[in-house]
Structure 1
Amino acid sequence: MERFHSISVDTERLNGGLLMSFKALGKVSHADYMAIKAVIDSALRAAAGQQIRVLVDVTEFEGWELHAAWDDVALALRHSHDFYKIAVLGNSRWQKLAAMVGNWFVDGESRYFEDKAHALSWLQSE
């Protein structure tokens, strides 16, 4: 039985900048990254010069296929200077560790949260 997997992305205006929300479900594939790449690139072009805050919800994330793991690193490297704040919302120790490792690849401030309200509050603060 094939398990459901995807990455969704949503954008909204926040404090004169942009809030991008990502939700990863299941074991993410290369095709999942390819499906959102154009949306991410377009949103970042439209928000050039603005503060971009990111909420990454990995509470239902189970990991990556090998190619998708590389896609994740490449995405972080390609946009390492674009993000002002990144809040990673998770619920396990390995997700917290992955968020800490991901922090090495971006210039913006990054924090791990287990409560969505706290994550959003931190993202909205200056």
Structure 2
Amino acid sequence: MTIQLNEENGGKVLVVHVSGKLVKVDYEQFVPEVERLVRRHGKLRMLFDMADFHGWEASAAWEDFKFGVEHFADIERLAMVGEKQWQHGMAMLCKPFTKAEVRYFDHADASEARKWLSET
């Protein structure tokens, strides 16, 4: 699994590129970075880019659930950019687990996702 984090808009937007299958150790990089940005900026906007993403191992799915509970109110907007029908469904399923406004965008519309994240 590859996870790549990039800050945009002065750190107010976190772009998370994931590919392959998420494993538990991936959260050891991801969670502290989110927490650092929340301490610095308050609520974040996040673009979750799922190019070539294949899901989670069971232990990583648990880490993802814990992250959602612990950071329920730390994300203001979440743009999920994907290329598969199940990824669209995943975006809809995560809505009850966050206070964030969640939208799904097809990969062809990634620029629209960035535009939406930067709107006030």
Q: Does TM-score exceed 0.5, indicating one fold?
A: yes
Partner residue, 1:118: 112
Q: Are positions 1:46 and 2:40 aligned together? A: yes
Separation in 1, partners of 2:99, 2:46: 13
Partner residue, 1:10: 6
Q: CA RMSD in A?
A: 1.4
Task: Map Cα deviations across residues 56-112 of structure 1 (whole Å, 9 max, x no partner).
Answer: 001221010100011111111111101111100001110000111111111021100
**Which sections of structure 1, spanning at least 5 residues, go unmatched?**
none
Aligned residues between the structures:
118
| TM-score between the two structures when normalised by the length of structure 2 | 0.90
Partner residue, 2:20: 26
**Which has more radius of gyration?**
1
Aligned counterpart for 1:109 among listed residues 95, 101, 104: 101
Separation in 2, partners of 1:96, 1:56: 12
Separation in 2, partners of 1:103, 1:11: 23
Q: Which contiguous aligned blocks of 4+ residues in structure 1 show a shift greater than 4 angstroms?
A: none
**Which sections of structure 2, spanning at least 5 residues, go unmatched?**
none
Q: Are positions 1:92 and 2:84 aligned together? A: yes
Percent identity among equivalent residues? 31
- Superposed displacement of residue 118, structure 1: 0.9
Which protein has the bigger helix share?
2
| TM-score between the two structures when normalised by the length of structure 1 | 0.86
